[in-house]
């Protein structure tokens, strides 16, 4: 971890950008901005210079003031919060240009008392990881690498279901952007058989009480096929490949956070029924003949059956020749059965 974006700085910068966006094509003077924000003209000028260094195209006129022409493709808080409408998730955002792992940082912040819904996001991860300790390719400026801290009031045994929440939120965001994806149980978001998203849910809890849940999510947004490591090219893809054009990351991230927030709100009010219903809608596993492999047992205990549903715990129900079997998330890998 190199550097965390200061919340006070982020707040003032977001206000400056909001004023410039509100002005549209018109110019806004430094004096007027300083007056509205309750700071000095020098402070406004300094923040304008920093925004320019960060890629914002802000033109100035000696008598008229400043005008925002364009914004960079960045995941800084001022861009994420521009138009974000959520109750909990994303109301507070911690941004890092580069970090070892957003999950590790989220856990550190959670242990210090970070609130429900805080988001940790980075432009690049050095040690991103997914389920079963697999590493996750997280290059700079090409994806959305983030973790959300939740402090729900449900029981610890319900926490693994939050993994499905994140997968559904991303699938719904993709749909908003005109892209069709599917979810392979439990949480692999796929298109054309290739993985677009990695999700890792972790928890700190006592027997009857959750201290916090961390949902780490890595989304391949604008990674070109040739940019993936050779060993991933036949397994991974990005949303820009599906869309056939570059995806605006901040706008896509807002959609993900808004869907996560709405689903989380439904969970707190009514349980996981809505998440499960939406998961079934996107599922590419249900109705398929699958091969279940014990991922931690080297293939021992593998069996074949038809995936028919998920139960109230999010476990996969598989009908086999010997009867129905219940498969828990995190215990298996799923491969389509070959004819």
**40 annotated as belonging to a binding site for a ligand:** no
Nearest to 232 by CA among 306, 138, 93: 138
Neighbours of 14 (CB within 10 A): 17
Helix-helix angle 7-23:41-53, to 10 degrees: 90
**86 annotated as belonging to a binding site for a ligand:** no
**81 annotated as belonging to a binding site for a ligand:** no
Show Cβ contacts of residue 110 under 8 Å, excluding neighbours closer than 6 positions: 149, 204, 211, 212, 214
Nearest to 235 by CA among 294, 201, 191, 199: 191
**82 annotated as belonging to a binding site for a ligand:** no
**131 annotated as belonging to a binding site for a ligand:** yes
DSSP H helical segments within the chain, as ranges?
Answer: 7-23, 30-37, 41-53, 77-80, 102-111, 162-176, 239-243, 249-270, 273-282
**101 annotated as belonging to a binding site for a ligand:** yes
Neighbours of 305 (CB within 10 A): 21
Number of H helices, E strands in the chain: 9, 15
Annotated binding site: 101-103, 125, 129-131, 195
Annotated binding site for biotin: 101-103, 125, 129-131, 195
């Amino acid at each position: 971890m190199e550097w965390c974006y200061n919340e006070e700085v982020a707040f003032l910068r977001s206000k400056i950008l909001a004023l410039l966006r509100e002005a549209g094509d018109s110019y806004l003077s430094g004096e007027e901005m300083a007056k509205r924000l309750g700071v000095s003209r020098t402070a406004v000028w300094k923040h304008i210079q920093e925004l320019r260094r960060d890629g914002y195209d802000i033109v100035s006129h000696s008598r008229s003031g400043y005008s925002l022409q364009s914004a960079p493709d960045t995941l800084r808080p001022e861009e994420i919060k521009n138009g974000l409408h959520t109750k909990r998730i994303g109301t507070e955002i911690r941004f890092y240009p580069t970090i070892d792992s957003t999950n590790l940082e989220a856990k550190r912040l959670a242990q210090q008392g970070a609130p429900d819904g805080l988001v940790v996001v980075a432009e690049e991860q050095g040690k991103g990881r997914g389920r079963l300790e697999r590493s996750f390719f997280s290059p700079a400026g090409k994806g959305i690498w983030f973790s959300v801290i939740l402090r729900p009031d449900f029981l610890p045994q319900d926490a693994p279901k939050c993994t499905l929440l994140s997968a559904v939120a991303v699938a719904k965001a993709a749909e908003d952007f005109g892209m069709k994806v599917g979810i392979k149980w439990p949480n692999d978001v796929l298109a054309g058989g290739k993985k677009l998203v990695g999700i890792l849910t972790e928890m700190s809890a006592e027997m009857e009480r959750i201290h916090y849940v961390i949902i780490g999510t890595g989304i391949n947004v604008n990674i070109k096929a040739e940019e993936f490591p050779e060993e991933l090219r036949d397994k991974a893809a990005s949303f820009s490949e599906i869309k056939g054009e570059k995806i605006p990351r901040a706008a896509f991230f807002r959609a993900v956070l808004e869907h996560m927030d709405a689903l989380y709100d439904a969970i707190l009010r009514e349980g996981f029924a809505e998440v499960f219903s939406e998961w079934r809608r996107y599922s590419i596993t249900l109705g398929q003949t699958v091969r279940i492999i014990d991922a931690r047992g080297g293939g021992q205990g593998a069996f074949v059956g038809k995936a028919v549903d998920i139960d109230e715990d999010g476990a996969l129900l598989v009908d086999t020749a010997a009867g129905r079997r219940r498969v828990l998330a995190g215990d298996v890998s799923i491969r389509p059965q070959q004819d």
